[in-house]
Structure 1
């Protein structure tokens, strides 16, 4: 039997995606995105938050993740941003009255505060969404494990994230099965609520079954055996240029914070 040595040796090579941002170390990407998320908190101006949000889209486009990022982020931003803006605009008191709706008074101060707070929260959410679409969870867990985090902790985090995805896929499969049996799953809200409860039983049983399978697989792979773990996936080592750019970015950020505090 002829073995594919090229395929076998591919696991010994660093896993790259041939993109400057995607191939950055997960902790390097986390560092950069955290700085972008902190800047609107420090400045507290809606114009800066909007610029940061637009910068997220530029990074997503440069890393070939614009479609995935926009699909999640636009919905999240519209939902959270509009809700926070309306709540703040309606209930923040002020002197410059713009409009009265019954017992509610909309003021210019409320609108300004709502715009600033809504864009700030949306900018912070954008950092989380961008990092999630640009970084695989297993890569982040691998880096943390190599930094000294116990492999049991990284497995629990990774397994929890994967379980959420598995439950979502399983719920879609069960809903399709219910639809094939003639159960009404679309249309009115009452029909959707009625179709939701029958999927809970199979969903919970499937989750329990998956947990048992994972436990058996962990025992078969000697998960709790003492000794150093081996990995089938290797990441590209952090280059000198990447370290230099990160140091420069952090120095500029620290200088910016000092300037804001002193100024």
Structure 2
């Protein structure tokens, strides 16, 4: 029985990794194609209505792909912060003839409000593409897909290692802050207290990052990463089915038609 379990576990790595969701199971490059189109549409349309429609579509797509919680948690905060800041800056400093309000030396015009609304929703829509792709696609799957398209393994490893290093630094900083708190050092409260507690963690954080880099280099040498042989993988992607290729063809043709319509119109 144990041997059967072992073989089942071993053979699981030979099978394509699927999540039983129509969008999540798309090839990472297929998802990237769709997300890039969604990000470019507001740029081409130059309308805040289209940008808002794309933003709402992100939430629909996140719900359909069972990633609404992860997506909304990050995107709502990011959208409110960036969107409100850009709108206020544009509305206050874009000149115009139709004056709505005067606040001291600042003059808010209808042209500034319109420009601020368009620009803020455009940037938020583009950010939504990045956020949604990050929660709907694992970085290692994207790197594997790029490697299968001919990207050198060293290049994909550098990108994946850089992304993972950012995550590791964040986790390590939280761990160090909790350790400082356990020792009685005040790490919460006023901003000045947080700043004072932040600087002492920089030393252990940088030393830990250097140590992790050395460990990764040793692990790469032990696994013969630079050996002149074909690399093997513990993860496989499913083959792109004809239906997925057809969907991509329709989406790309519709996007090209939209661009032609905008240019001609």
Pick the TM interval, shorter chain: over 0.9
Structure 2 counterpart of 1:108: 110
- 2:96 maps to what in 1? 94
What are the Cα deviations for residues 195-251 of structure 1, in whole angstroms up to 9, with x where unaligned? Answer: 001101110111111011101100000000001111010011100000011001101
Alignment TM-score, normalising by the size of structure 2: 0.98
Residues 65-88 of structure 1 deviation map (CA, whole Å, 9 limit, x = unaligned): 000000100000000000000000
Give me the whole-angstrom Cα distance separating, in 2, the residues matched to 1:20 and 1:229: 29
Question: What does 1:176-215 correspond to in 2, within 5 Å?
Answer: 176-215=178-217
Matches within 5 A, 1:1-263: 2-3=2-3, 4-263=6-265
Give me the whole-angstrom Cα distance separating, in 2, the residues matched to 1:258 and 1:108.
Answer: 31
Distance 2:119 2:67 in 1: 27
Measure, in 1, the Cα distance between the counterparts of 2:45 and 2:148.
Answer: 35
Equivalents in 2 of 1:192, 1:58: separation in Å? 38
**Superposition misfits of 4+ residues, deviation over 4 angstroms:** none
1:2: Cα distance to partner? 4.5
SS in 2 for 1:100: strand
- Could you tell me how far apart the structure 2 residues matched to 1:67 and 1:187 are? 28
- C-alpha separation in 1, matches of 2:157 and 2:110: 50
How many pairs were matched up?
263
Structure-2 separation of matches of 1:199 and 1:10: 41
Give CA deviations for 1:80-123 in whole Å, capped at 9, x if unaligned: 00000000000000000000000000000000000000000000
Unaligned runs of 5+ in 1: none
Q: Which runs of 5+ in 2 are unaligned?
A: none
